[in-house]
């Protein structure tokens, strides 16, 4: 490594917000299944606290040794609905167990209070989904997700209808806590099994018993690189600059993942290179798009710029490691991105424009705040539209939408920390009850017949 490369990396960390956003330990709980829910919870707690006992310590050691910020240490577990299927009792007992583990271990979040229902409900799925509002309201570190569709299976519209009400219930139960439960819930289509990012992380059934996944983020680094570029540089040259930058960022993730794997004695899973913004000025995906030549994120051309950014990030990451996985690409969470917040406040970035952008970003409608009187069926409609985009385009899409109870368009909801604050956005309130109440399943598209 050359001296200039070392100095460049130091600058990325000190001035451009480069960080390891998360080291996430994925843990299988399949061997913790038991018909007695108390015994099952005891097995869960013992396994998590044994395997992850040094996770926070190792993360801190890496941070001190290499000078690389490791922002979050997290755990993801097998979808809890699979454990609920075999046990008798209130599923919230599992949420409380996960919360105890998080507090004992000192991790920031623990994900996996989840169900995979893209083709229908197995035993335990409905019970878990119905319990999500209570589970998230009575815990601080637990995150939940539900996969309602996939390219192979189509979209489970009965689940879509349920999730609209679940999102509303989450917001209402935590109305005095800035509707935080809804901010810890993601509704997916084509959910990846190795995603280290919350709130959608869970440990897939095809994963090893225990793995280490790393999530790297550096939108500020990409923005700074583009800011130095000639304003007349063609788009393909800009894409090359982004690829080179993504390569450097991913190499750091590869290093951290390898070291964490060795220190913890756990197999290294994947590096997720996702440009996940923060509310800090400069650490913004919107600002990257504006450096490409847009006056404000949301102008016509935004979707094209985002498509190029997402593709270039993936190409650079793939060249840097054979372990790229998770979501990998560009996130567009409104409340967590200073540029997105500004564009939303000005009315330039609308919910409809965000939906178009989700067709080319790495996830979907993320941390979008809507008026508190938004109905469950309208929320279900948003979920259905996003799932359709994911299903037809064979990509992951997701919805993390927060009805701000008691607030109207133009007001803000402040979550604090990495979640930032969100302006309440206008949403089309046209009724869709008849369509949502039909239920059933939207069949898989022709793209499903690829084998």
Q: Report pLDDT digits (tens) over 369-427.
A: 999 999 999 999 999 999 999 999 999 999 999 999 999 998 988 887 778 888 999 99
Res. 12: pLDDT tops 90? no
Kindly state whether residues 182 and 252 are assigned to the same domain: no
Tell me what pLDDT residue 267 has. Answer: 93
Residue 110 falls inside a structural domain: yes
Residue 16 falls inside a structural domain: no
Res. 5: pLDDT tops 70? no
Looking up residue 405, the CATH number of its domain turns out to be 3.20.70.20
How far are the Cα atoms of 163, 212, 369, 407 from residue 174, in angstroms, in the given order?
17, 32, 14, 14
Kindly state whether residues 266 and 167 are assigned to the same domain: no
Kindly state whether residues 90 and 223 are assigned to the same domain: no
Kindly state whether residues 45 and 157 are assigned to the same domain: yes
Domain, as residue range, for 65 = 22-189
Kindly state whether residues 88 and 157 are assigned to the same domain: yes
Residue 422 falls inside a structural domain: yes
Tell me what pLDDT residue 8 has. Answer: 59
In this prediction, residue 317 has a pLDDT band, given cuts at 50, 70 and 90, of: confident
Tell me what pLDDT residue 9 has. Answer: 62
Res. 123: pLDDT tops 70? yes
Tell me what pLDDT residue 24 has. Answer: 93
Residue 200 falls inside a structural domain: no
The pLDDT tens digits for 196-242 are 888 899 999 999 999 999 988 878 888 888 988 888 999 999 999 99
Residue 196 falls inside a structural domain: no
Kindly state whether residues 408 and 343 are assigned to the same domain: yes
Tell me what pLDDT residue 14 has. Answer: 53
Kindly state whether residues 172 and 224 are assigned to the same domain: no
Kindly state whether residues 143 and 181 are assigned to the same domain: yes
Q: Indicate the residue among 189, 205, 230 that finishes a domain.
A: 189
Kindly state whether residues 235 and 158 are assigned to the same domain: no
Kindly state whether residues 340 and 403 are assigned to the same domain: yes
Average pLDDT, rounded, for the chain: 90
> What is the distance of C-alpha 302 from the center of its chain?
21
pTM over 0.85: yes
Number of domains in the chain: 2
Q: What is the mean pLDDT of residues 26-48?
A: 96
Kindly state whether residues 305 and 390 are assigned to the same domain: yes
Q: Indicate the residue among 155, 189, 223 that finishes a domain.
A: 189
């Amino acid at each position: 490594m050359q001296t200039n490369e070392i100095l460049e990396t130091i600058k990325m960390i000190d001035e451009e917000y480069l960080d390891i956003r998360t080291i996430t330990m994925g843990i299988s709980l399949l061997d913790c299944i038991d018909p007695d829910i108390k015994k099952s919870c005891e097995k869960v707690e013992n396994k998590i606290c044994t395997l992850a006992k040094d996770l926070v310590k190792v993360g801190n050691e890496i941070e001190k040794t290499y000078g690389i910020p490791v922002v979050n240490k997290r755990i993801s577990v097998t979808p809890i609905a699979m454990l609920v299927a075999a046990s008798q009792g209130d599923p919230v007992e599992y949420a409380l167990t996960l919360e105890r583990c998080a507090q004992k271990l000192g991790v920031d979040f623990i994900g996996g209070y989840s169900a995979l229902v893209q083709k229908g409900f197995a035993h335990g799925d409905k019970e878990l989904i119905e319990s999500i509002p209570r589970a998230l309201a009575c815990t601080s570190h637990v995150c939940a997700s539900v996969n309602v569709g996939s390219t192979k299976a189509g979209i489970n519209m009965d689940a879509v209808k349920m999730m609209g009400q679940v999102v509303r219930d989450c917001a209402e139960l935590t109305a005095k806590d800035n509707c935080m439960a809804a901010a810890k819930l993601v509704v997916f289509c084509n959910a990846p099994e190795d995603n280290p990012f919350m709130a959608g992380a869970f440990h897939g059934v095809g994963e090893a018993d225990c793995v280490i996944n790393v999530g790297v983020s550096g939108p500020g680094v990409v923005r700074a690189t583009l800011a130095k570029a000639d304003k007349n540089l063609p788009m393909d040259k800009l894409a090359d600059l982004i690829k080179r930058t993504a390569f450097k960022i991913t190499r750091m993730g590869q290093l951290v993942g390898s070291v964490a794997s060795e220190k913890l004695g756990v197999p290294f899973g994947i590096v997720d290179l996702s440009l996940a913004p923060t509310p800090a000025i400069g650490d913004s995906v919107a600002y990257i798009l504006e450096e490409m030549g847009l006056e404000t994120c949301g102008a016509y051309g935004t979707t094209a710029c985002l498509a190029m950014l997402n593709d270039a990030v993936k190409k650079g990451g793939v060249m840097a490691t054979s372990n790229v996985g998770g979501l990998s690409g560009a996130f567009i969470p409104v409340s967590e991105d200073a540029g997105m917040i500004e564009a939303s406040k000005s009315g330039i970035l609308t919910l409809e424009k965000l939906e178009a952008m989700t067709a080319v970003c790495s996830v979907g409608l993320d941390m979008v705040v809507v008026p508190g009187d938004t109905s469950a069926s309208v929320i279900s409609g948003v979920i259905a539209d996003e799932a359709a985009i994911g299903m037809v385009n064979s990509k992951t899409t997701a919805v993390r939408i927060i009805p701000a109870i008691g607030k109207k368009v133009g007001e803000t909801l402040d979550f604090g920390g990495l979640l930032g604050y969100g302006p309440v956005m206008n949403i089309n309130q046209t009724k869709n009850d008849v369509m949502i109440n039909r239920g059933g399943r939207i069949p898989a598209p022709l793209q499903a017949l690829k084998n």
